Amino acid sequence: MREKLPSRNYCIFTNNISANSENSEQFAFGFQSPTQMELMGISQSFCLDVTRNISTRSIEILYSLVTYHPETWKGSPVAYMVTNNHSAAPISQWLVHLQVQSNFTPMCITVDCSIAETNAITATLPQATVNFCEFHVLRAWQYNLDSKITLGASYTSEQLNGYKISEKIQEFKLRIQNQQQFLSYFERKWIGTEELLRSWGRPYVVHHHQGYLTSSFIESWHSQLKAIYFDSARIRRLDRLVYTLTNDTELYYRDAVDEVVDVVAEETSTVVESSRSSSMILQRVLTHITSLYNQREDMERMMNIPGLDIARLELIDNLLGEAQNQIDIIRNNHPSYFKTRNT
């Protein structure tokens, strides 16, 4: 594969990590198609995460960089690295390689609170801001709230949600000032420095990175990779993994872009094209709204399920609330289209 991929103009990363390690079998192998390189070069925001259980050797993992594709409106992988070293070293070397070879100049990268990924980004990309995925932050908080503090579930959820707003920190600390173990954890892990606050505080996230508050792009990619391309089974050989990513997966994303381009090509004016794009998005929004309405009975049944993941429910609540806010903004910006409803 190290010979075939360069013949297809793939950008290849290899490094002998074992040279600086006692383990002579450690390796790192990264690869990126010309199309992925092009998309990476025009993007500023990314998600970075690891996929585990990719082969019969549990130590082998796959790192993926995913960004928003301007044509398909979905997350699209732009670089891969396979390694059996779980430290920050291979990530750092890979990121430096992408800077030099692929014009990788990110402004913001979302991770799932991984120390290795955070350290690698901080060391090699000083211009980039590291943001922690909201879902993983909430899950960490919920776990520690449950294990370090004695509070009712409803109180915990309320305060947990409010704690995401930096102005509420002092108020929250006063409410639980007698819970020293819990406060010590939060001061050490989350609010000890401004750098820590910036990694998870929503007010600190720049506008163009707002769509990356969670790592949903890359989580969706993980699910698709395992369920569709791996057929929910571990691959026995890494060359088969590389073949799948460079052929099946590459073809899927290329076809998705071509499909969108064909639709746009049918439009003959900028106005019509803009109107069509808006209509397509609104049709998808209406589909989601209809689906949610039809799931009302399921939501009511969920109230009787014990032990639901509070962090996941809070995330759903926040996303739906933000969607409602955006709808209100559009209505307020175009009042003439809603006169009947407003009066």
Range 227-242 burial, b when 16+ CB lie within 10 A, else e: eeebeeeebeebeebb
Percent pLDDT > 90 in the chain is: 24
Domain coordinates in residue numbering, the chain: 4-133+214-258, 135-200
Query: How many whole angstroms from its chain centre is CA 271?
Result: 33
Is 90 exceeded by the pLDDT of residue 303?
no
Whether residue 241 has pLDDT greater than 80? yes
Q: What three-state secondary structure class fits 28?
A: strand
Residue 259: phi, psi to the nearest 5? -65, -45
The mean per-residue pLDDT over the stretch 138-150 comes to 69
Q: Among positive and negative, which fits the CA dihedral 260, 266, 272, 275?
A: negative
Q: How many CB atoms lie within 10 A of CB 181?
A: 10
Q: pLDDT above 70 covers what percent of the chain?
A: 74
What's this model's pTM, rounded to 2 decimal places? 0.65
263: confidence class by pLDDT, cuts 50, 70, 90: low
Q: Backbone phi, then psi, for 256, in 5-degree steps? A: -65, -40
Task: Name the CATH code of domain 4-133+214-258 (choices 3.30.43.10, 3.30.420.10, 3.40.30.10, 3.90.1420.10).
Answer: 3.30.420.10
DSSP sequence for 187-241: HHHTSSSHHHHHHH-GGGS-GGGGGGSS-HHHHHHHHHIIIIISTTS-BS-HHHH
Of 102-106, 136-140, 332-336, minimum mean pLDDT range = 136-140
Looking at every residue in the chain, the average pLDDT score rounds to: 78
Model pLDDT, residue 100:
94
Reduced to 3 states, what is the DSSP secondary structure of residue 169?
A: helix
| pLDDT per position as a tens digit, 201-225 | 666 777 777 777 766 666 777 677 7
Residue 155: the pLDDT is 46
Environment class of residue 36 by beta-carbon count within 10 Å: exposed (0-12), middle (13-18) or buried (19+)? buried
